[in-house]
Amino acid sequence: MTVITIWSESGGVGKTTTTLNLAAALGEQGKDVLIIDLDPQPASITDHAGYQDAKNGDVEVTLSDVLLDDDVGLSEVIIEDELFDLAPAHESLASLETTVRAQQISTAEFLLRSKLAEIEDEYDYILIDPPATLNLLVDNALIASGNVLVPMEMTRKGERSIGGVVETVTAIESQLQRAQPDFSLNVIGVLPNKVDGSILNQEIQGALEDVDGVEVLPITIPSYNVMEQAWDAHLDIFRYAEHDDYGLRKYQESLLDAYRDLATLIIELDADDETEAVVS
């Protein structure tokens, strides 16, 4: 089981759409995938996937219950879907940090990690979508995954934000290595997102390739308005493409190819890691 956090400190870079469509692309390739939505804010992946009632409604068990109660398992909140399963966010996650302090939980950053063991044989990939703002939920995501994929717009704002992501990952890694010397956080790479082919996009992408500690993935996600339309329809881009009421124009099909290429890259990197582990 491989766990990946999709995260950037900048909002609006396509973090959630990347998570949803990467999950769909992995599912299309026959992988068992779970999305864990750790973002209690409006317009999170739970909303995008069409499960708003699970997030804001009066449900018996929430993701907050899972994290805070040793007797509640992650499987109790999982919603099964066609290409991937979803552990939906709930608005109560917004007060998790306050609750943790009130209960004086000393290992609060490890709450999610401790819950993944029970489902490790059920999924090939778990994708975690936390909020952009650095907080306890982001800590939990990074510690539970050990891997982070950074979607980024090829803009000046995006260029400035990459330094913050690298610094955060390095700081969390150093902090945890005091307790677990073998712990590491792997930055899979920067995913150029919402790319329109402009000269500025090309300049930023070129500049990032020269930044130490940053690997720009050889895949770009093009900027098409159809992504917003898929969002409004509560569909990933693959199901939007196949839906009788929607569909893609020929030139927009490059979106499908891009996410398929990203899924293939993730699978290949995963296979390389397993080979290295066997060899070592």
Question: What is the structure's pLDDT at 201?
Answer: 66
- What backbone torsions phi and psi does residue 152 show, to the nearest 5 degrees? -150, 135
Give yes or no for residue 108 having a pLDDT over 60: yes
18-32, 118-132, 152-166: least confident range: 152-166
What CATH number does the domain containing 117 carry? 3.40.50.300
Give yes or no for residue 78 having a pLDDT over 80: yes
Q: Could you read off the pLDDT of 253-279 as tens digits, one per residue?
A: 999 999 999 999 999 988 776 533 333
Question: What is the structure's pLDDT at 277?
Answer: 35
CA distances 244 to 240, 247, 248, 279, Å, are: 9, 7, 11, 49
Measured CA to CA, the distance from residue 17 to residue 129 in angstroms comes to 10
| Site of tokens 């409006």 | 42
Structure tokens at 177: 């290595």
Q: Could you read off the pLDDT of 141-176 as tens digits, one per residue?
A: 999 999 999 998 777 776 676 767 778 778 878 877
Measured CA to CA, the distance from residue 280 to residue 277 in angstroms comes to 5
Question: What is the structure's pLDDT at 58?
Answer: 80
Measured CA to CA, the distance from residue 211 to residue 123 in angstroms comes to 34
| Mean pLDDT on 55-69 | 90
* Total-model pTM: 0.91
Question: What is the structure's pLDDT at 40?
Answer: 93
Q: 122 lies in which domain range?
A: 2-279
85-89, 117-121, 174-178: least confident range: 174-178
CA distances 252 to 208, 227, 257, 258, Å, are: 26, 10, 10, 10
Share of the chain above pLDDT 70, in %: 89
Give yes or no for residue 127 having a pLDDT over 50: yes
Number of domains in the chain: 1
